[in-house]
Every structure is written in C-alpha cells, then in structure tokens.
Amino acid sequence: MSETLNCDVLVVGSGPGGYVAAIRAGQLGLDTILVEKDRLGGTCLIRGCIPSKALIEASERYAQACENAEGHGKIGISAAAPKLDFKQTIAWKNGITDQLSSGVEGLLKAANVRVVKGWAKFENAKTCRVGDIKIKAQNVILANGSTEVELPGLPFGGPVISSTEALDLAEVPKTMAVIGAGYIGMELGMAYRKLGCEIIFIEAGERILPGFDKQLTAPVTKWLRDHKVKVHMKSFAKSVTSKGGKHTLGFTDKDGKAQSLRVDKVLVTVGRIPCTDGWGLENMAVDMDGAFIKIDAQCRTAMRGVYAIGDVVGEPMLAHKATAQGEMVPEIIAGHKRAFTPTAIPAICFTDPEIVSVGMTPQQAKDKALDTVEGKFRWAANGRALTTGTAEGGGFVRVLARKDTGRILGIQAVGRHISELSGEFVLAVEMNATLEDLAGTIHAHPSLSEAFMEAGLSALGRPLHST
C-alpha cells in the first residue's frame, strides 16, 4: 500500500552536502526527510575521499617499512622485510568508513531527520516517489553528487575499473595502467606504486596535474621519476583486449603511433560528471548551466523552493564546498540572510608530496593585470620539516599579495603533510590578512607553520631564514 509523507525540507543524497543540510535543517526545527539509495555518507565517505586517504596512509606506512628493511632508511632504523595482508588493509579501510557512516546515522537521528532508503523519482518539483512511498515537500535540496566518467572505448568491467573499484581490489595488481594524470589518478596511482604495483600513466594533456602550476608539480614529477613510474603524455587510451586471462591496453603515443601495454588492471580516472539522469530532473522545471544545475548565490534554482548544492551545481567539485552550501541552505529556508560568496575554497591533492592551493595563483593575478609581490620559503630551511622528512623531495610555501596594500591574494604549497596547513591558508585569504599581519603573527617553533610566516617575510623583503 502506498504511503504519503509530508515535510518542510526534502534532501536528496547523503553526501557531505546532503547529510549536513539535513542535520542543519533538523537543528532549525524544520521537519526534514533525507532520501538515500546507498549507505549514508555518499561518495566522499564511502568510496572517495575517506577510503582513498586510508589507502594512501597504508601505502605510505608499507613503503616506509620496506625502506627500513632494505637498509635505505636515514635515521638508523632497520627491520625485517614487511608482509602485506591487503585483505586486512581493505578491511581496516572499510572499518573507518563503517564507523563514519554509523556516525552520520547517529547525527541525523539526533537532529530528528527521517531517513528513507531508496531511489527518489520526482513527479514534479516538490513531489517524489521512493518505491511505494510518496514524499511531498515544501522545500527540496538536491545533493545528488557526481559519478565517474566512462571512456567510450574502455567501458567499466573486467580489467577496466573506476576509482570506486580501485579502493576494493582483492589484491594488489602486478601492473596497472592509470588513464588520466589528474588528482584522482595521481593519488591512487602513487598509492599502488608504494604497495608494489608497477604503474604506467596515460595522459592526454601536456603535463600531470593540470590544475596546478609547474612549480607545484615539480616535486611530484621527481617522485614519479625516482620511483620509476612511466608517464606517457599527449597519449590516448583506445581499447583493452583480453586473451587467456591476460589483458592488453592499446593507446596512441605523443607521435600518434599505436602502442600497447600488458597490464592486470586499467584504472580510468578522467573526471567526474554530475548525477542528473534517472531521477526526474526533467520534471522539476529547473534551469541548467551546461551539464550542471544552475543556481544563484543562495543555491536557489529557477524553481521556487528548490535548491541544489555540491557536485551537481558545478566546479569546484569538492566535498568541503558541498558541506558549506549544505550548512547554508537550511538557514536560508528558515529565514536567515545568507549567501554563498567564499573568497577562497582550498584545493588539495594528496600525492607525495601533497599540494595545496588557496585563492589566486600568480598566473591568475597576471591575467587580471594585478601588481603583486611574491614570497617563497623552502621546506629545506624549516627545522620541523627536516625532522619529519617533509623537506625531502623539494617543496615550498608561496605567498602572493598585492604590492600596494600587502593584502594576501593566494597561497600555494607543496610538501608532505602540507594539507594540515590548508586551514591557516584559507583563513588568511578569507579574512583579508596582509603580509604584515602574517609576519606579525607569532608561529610556534618548531612547526611547519613557520614556513608560512617566513614566506610572508620573504614577500616583504626581509626574510630571516632564507636568502
């Protein structure tokens, strides 16, 4: 028998945008229903950000153990050759996602949010069906997320896997081709290389990690070279053929010549697209901006009372952007005056070493014809970086500021563990801090954060620990 539910707010999708929106709506006293077809937590928590970082951490620990066993360690530690139980590694990773998913469930329950399991199919802008349940809402928040892009000649299945399958392999492949040298491909490819897999990148562009400039990617390029990772630039994957349990990837190289590779797995990481098909978006009378749902600064769509957040509304397709929008929209529904106008949204690539970019880059400042000053501080001159191995392989912190006022416009950095400083970087930009503010803020010693202060001093022309 069909059941009809009514609510003030209907949230579709339980990723970092959707579940936060539902929690905040519940906290504000709005009768809220959350619809999710899969486990609570969405792509980021279940099959993206969190499990990939767990795999990256495990791979780094294994690589360090191997280094110590081989006698290449620099700090006098030696050990027996490590053994990798990859099934246990995956089980540990799954335990983390299980814990966080259960945590989300508890938070939703505490906020009095009703959770309906299943696939939402909209009949109109404010009414959807989830199986035999009809839901009518005063307001709708679409947080449907995104999914992996599939290449025409390399459909997912068999040896061809997406990032989702790469996080749940039964064993470490001996050889894996990674199609796409963007941040997802680089993160997973480097992790599997540390676990002992031979990795070959096939990239259509002219360089790796095109979202970051060459100064930032140089230490990553060095790591790839030092660890014998082959990268084919200006190359295009075409097809995979299988025979006798063995797989061959066909591709064209930078000269347009046909090449082939014998591989165990082919990981396709060429981007993500918004989930806009199969749930009745065409019945909601919203406007589109290309492949994405069009919104304004309050995440409102063209249909009154219908909002959209996260990956489904466009770049940057980052979890923390979705979370910020998810926290904001319920407050707007409740009558608060809010708008999504961040000065900067941090971008992080969890490669080895990590890369962080916040705010404006030097090239963007140049394109705007801004008169700027730049300061840089190398990790090799930071005491804490030297004691933690962060300085190995190069790396630096770079600060960009207006020449006339000293206002900080952007910060970029590359180095191990640098992601943990992203909060300080984005706060400086968001709060319109100046170089003098940065230089006048006492940073703890010894800490990695000192490098940020030193970069500011460098931009002011009075460096203390660099020349």
DSSP three-state, residue 410: strand
Phi, psi torsion values for 293, nearest 5 degrees: -80, 130
User: In whole angstroms, what is the distance from residue 386 CA to residue 395 CA?
Assistant: 12
Nearest to 32 by CA among 277, 278, 310, 329: 329
* C-alpha separations of 336 from 43, 327, 330 in Å: 29, 12, 9
User: In whole angstroms, what is the distance from residue 46 CA to residue 41 CA?
Assistant: 6
User: In whole angstroms, what is the distance from residue 84 CA to residue 196 CA?
Assistant: 10
Return the number of other C-beta atoms located less than 10 Å from residue 330's C-beta.
Answer: 27
With contact defined as beta carbons under 8 Å apart, do 207 and 233 qualify? yes
Return the number of other C-beta atoms located less than 10 Å from residue 91's C-beta.
Answer: 10
Nearest to 209 by CA among 357, 54, 63: 357
Question: How many residues are present in the chain?
Answer: 467
Active site residue 445: yes
User: In whole angstroms, what is the distance from residue 140 CA to residue 6 CA?
Assistant: 12
DSSP three-state, residue 276: coil
Phi, psi torsion values for 31, nearest 5 degrees: -70, 115
With contact defined as beta carbons under 8 Å apart, do 200 and 232 qualify? yes
| Token output for 373 | 């000053």
The one catalytic residue in 232, 320, 445, 465 is 445
User: In whole angstroms, what is the distance from residue 448 CA to residue 417 CA?
Assistant: 9
User: In whole angstroms, what is the distance from residue 267 CA to residue 257 CA?
Assistant: 22
Active site residues: 445
